[in-house]
Every structure is written in C-alpha cells, then in structure tokens.
Structure 1
Amino acid sequence: MPDSRIRTLIVEADPVTADAYSIYVEKLAGFTVSGVAYSGAQCLRQVAHDGHDLVVLDLYLPDMTGFDVCRRLRSRGARPDIIAVTAARDLATVRAAVAYGAVQYLVKPFDFAAFRSRLESYASYRNHLALEHTGLIGQREVDAALAALRPGTAPSPGRPRGRSVSTLDVVVTYLRAAPVPMSADEVAGAVGLSRVTARRYLERLADQRLVGRTQRYGRPGRPEHLYRWLVQVGIGTN
C-alpha cells in the first residue's frame, strides 16, 4: 500500500536545527521527512532525484538564497510546495516569498506551536484540493482550500493543543546534540524560541537534574548561565 504521508524535505544550514525540525515533523500525523539538505545545491539535487511534496525552506543558505532555490525549481518544472522560513521581517521579502510560490511563511523566532499550525494548515489545504472531485473543483472548494492555509483554521484531531511537551522535546534534542555547553540565547536562536521561553525550559530541565548548569564569566554585566545535557541520564529515567 503506498505511503500517503506528506513527504517533507527540510532545508536548513544548521545541522542541529535541521535535526530538530526533522524530529518534530515526524511527530505530526500525516507527515514524514523525505530528506534533509544543508544548502541550496543539495536541495536542488534531492528534488531532482527524489519525490518531495513539501519543502520547509530557510531563505538564507550558505551558497544561495531560498529565492534562488525557488526560481531554479520552477525553471526545471519541479512543483513541490514551499513553506518559507526566515528571520526577515520586511514586506519586500514577504512579497518575494509569495511571488515565488510559498504557501506559508514562518518568521524566526517562532515557537513550535506555530510550526505545527502551519504544517497542519497545509495538510488541510492539500486535503481540500485532493482529486476526489474528478479533477474539477468549483469556487467553494477553492475558497475552502485557501481558507485552510490560514493558521488556526486547520483541525488537529488527536493532538494536544498545549505546546509544552513538543517544545521541550526540541530543546532536549538540540541540547543533547550540542558539543559544548550552551547559553539560553544560543538555544533560543537555534530552535526558534524566545530567550525567555528557552531559559524557562532549560531551568526546568536543570531542576530535574537532566541538565547541568554552570556560569560563564569574563563578559560585561552579569555572568551567563550555560547548560549541558547530562549524558548519563536519559529521558524517561525514574
């Protein structure tokens, strides 16, 4: 029986962040990670040789912009849908992303409730445009599909509405993979959270003795807390 899950290609320059996105996508019903690329060139090669329905695309990559990636994909006849991810907040960037075919746009920093909302809205959009209408749809179906892309309109059956568990998982995944102790600012920037939110989760892990907490001196102002995963303790240990 063919896999009906939405094949999702993650395109993100930072490997740890890409891993965190991948783990989160795999937790969403109806989605699967079909590949990971760390540059525009890798993305283009993967789309050319492998089947992908959706590309979660950072617009700033080490070798080219996400807009370059979109332009080359379209010129080659490739038609995966795009969810653009960027820290840019200017209107020109938003307009360019839409012009290049992005169906969703995520502004960093974002929490993973927003990430989940975009993917679930996209899944609802695809369902509305499924070819169950013998390939012909009317205005009502078009309106319903476009409305589904608006965050907050897509249902999420069977999924808890709270975000704490999923966000905590992403923070843990990042910290476990980090080669050195990380500050709340560094964790926040890597996984797309505010500094306050990241520190709240890190302090919670420290209180549970899953994370070690030290201080870094030598900078102006107050000393900075650093957090490292205690490798001898695993999630679920009593």
Structure 2
Amino acid sequence: MIDGEIRVLVVEDEAIAAEAHSAYLGRLTGFVLAGTAADGHSALRALTAASAAGQPIDLVLMDMTLPDLHGLEVSRRMRAAGLTTDIIAITAVRELEIVRGAVAAGIVQYLIKPFTYATFAQKLVQYRDFRIQLGARTAVTSQSDVDLAFASLRTPTDLPRPKGLSEGTLGAVIEFLKQQTAPVSSSEVMEQIGISRVTARRYLEHLADTGMLDRQPRYGTPGRPENEYAWKRR
C-alpha cells in the first residue's frame, strides 16, 4: 500500500478547467491536490520545488496545449531533470502522433476533453489501483505481479456491458460502492453519481448479475420495495 495520499499537480492554463479538475480530485479517496500550474515552466518549477522540499508530487494531470510549452515537452524536461512523477494527459488533442508521443514520454493515462466526472474518476481510480499493486510488492516481482499491476490501468474486459451503459459511469459506480461500509440503494447511487434512479438501477443490476455485488431486498422502507447492493469483499 501507499503511505499517505497521492499528491497531484494540476497543469492547466484554463482557470475554469483547472478548478473543475481540482474539484473532481477532492471527491476521490486517496488523492490530495498539491497545487496548480497555468503553464509548463510553472509546472516544472513546482515539481522541482516540491522534490527539493521532500514532498514530491506523485502525479501530474497534464494539459497538452499549454501557452509556453507543449505538454510532451514538459514531460521530456521532467524526465531529463530526473523527475519520475507519473503523468496523466488531459487534452482535446486527438492526433495519433501526439498519442504515440505521450506513450514514449511515459504518460500512464490519456483523457480526452470533454469528459464527465465519471470518466475522470475511472481513470484516476485505475491509476490508484496501479500504484497499490506496485506498492504492495517487493523489489523482486514476478511476471504475474507485473501483469496484474498494469492490468489495473485498463478497463476490465471480462464484464460485458449491456448497450447504453458507459465505461466511465460504470467505473464511478464501482468506486462509490467500494467505499461503502453498508449496502446502498439505487436512490443513494443516484444522488452520489448524479444519474437518474432508473439508470443507477441498471448499473447496479448489471454488476449484481456479473457477481460483483451482493443483492438483497431492503425491508422497512415506505413505498415500493427496492433492492440494496453491497460490493463483494474478496
């Protein structure tokens, strides 16, 4: 496990977007906003200062189209300076060349603007799980351990989704359920995720049908009976 929370630097030149990404982080367990930077040079200074102070940044949410430097150039300068901070690209850029450059620069995830909170949460949770998988291992790691860690960065493919269920919302529902210590209803998921009750029930029923949730009737509530759901602890 990781000691403490994952410290995140948001690098984004649009103030509204930077504020939104920071607010999104605040809703996720295991992450803390370490600061924001509006351009590449500011980001590099913030990363260097944090490292020198003994409080290194763990993750950068990097906009690719900054006013002074391209996000890929910031990433290259980070590596050249010995900064091993992980990077998630957040950008509207869709050119394959840029995507390939992001992979070459060691960027671990790629988020395409515009995106919902659900999609944002899914990518960050996958990254957090990746760190947990690696942090739980010793220096000598088996192939299966490495495969398991990297698999956490990708969306599971062994759970076929019915038509109309989005990958991002599914990830947000799963993350919410994992955090709960008691069973929840579709109404509670609706309020937390910001989707309709009918939609919440579809996601919950799908997860229950695939064996990821325990499902049982909730008794003692007025009106129509409803089910409650709990994440299966493995």
Query: How high is the TM-score relative to the length of structure 2?
Result: 0.65
1:27, CA displacement in angstroms? Answer: 1.3
2-side partners of 1:13 and 1:70: how far apart?
Answer: 16
1:3, CA displacement in angstroms? Answer: 6.2
**Are the counterparts in 2 of residues 10 and 18 from structure 1 also a CA contact under 8 Å?**
yes
Structure 2 unaligned segments of length 5 or more: list them.
51-55, 158-170, 196-234
Identity, in percent, stands at 40
Query: For each residue in 1:168-197, what CA deviation from the matched residue of structure 2 results, as whole angstroms up to 9, or x when unmatched?
Result: 9xxxxxxxxxxxxxxxxxxxxxxxxxxxxx
**SS of the counterpart of 1:133?**
coil
Q: Which residue does 1:107 correspond to in 2?
A: 112
Select the residue among 49, 53, 58 that pairs with 2:58.
Answer: 53
**Count of equivalent residues:** 166
Select the residue among 148, 151, 155 that pairs with 1:147.
Answer: 151
Q: Which residue does 1:44 correspond to in 2?
A: 44
Select the residue among 118, 124, 137 that pairs with 1:119.
Answer: 124
**Are the counterparts in 2 of residues 111 and 167 from structure 1 also a CA contact under 8 Å?**
no
Query: How high is the TM-score relative to the length of structure 1?
Result: 0.64
1-side partners of 2:141 and 2:190: how far apart?
Answer: 36
Residues 126-165 of structure 1: pairs in structure 2 closer than 5 A:
126-130=131-135, 132-151=136-155, 156=175, 157-158=178-179, 165=192
**SS of the counterpart of 2:179?**
coil
1:72, CA displacement in angstroms? Answer: 0.4
Structure 1 unaligned segments of length 5 or more: list them.
169-238
* Ranges of 4+ aligned residues in structure 1 off by more than 4 Å: 152-155, 159-168
- Structure 1's 139 and 23: CA in aligned 2 closer, same or farther, altered over 3 A? same
2-side partners of 1:92 and 1:129: how far apart?
Answer: 29
2-side partners of 1:152 and 1:42: how far apart?
Answer: 36
Q: Which residue does 1:33 correspond to in 2?
A: 33
What CA RMSD, in Å, does the superposition of the two structures yield over aligned residues? 2.4
**Are the counterparts in 2 of residues 7 and 32 from structure 1 also a CA contact under 8 Å?**
yes
Amino acid at match of 2:179: G
1:133, CA displacement in angstroms? Answer: 3.1
Select the residue among 80, 95, 102 that pairs with 1:97.
Answer: 102
Select the residue among 84, 87, 90 that pairs with 1:82.
Answer: 87
1:152, CA displacement in angstroms? Answer: 5.1
Residues 69-78 or 15-24, more deviating: 15-24
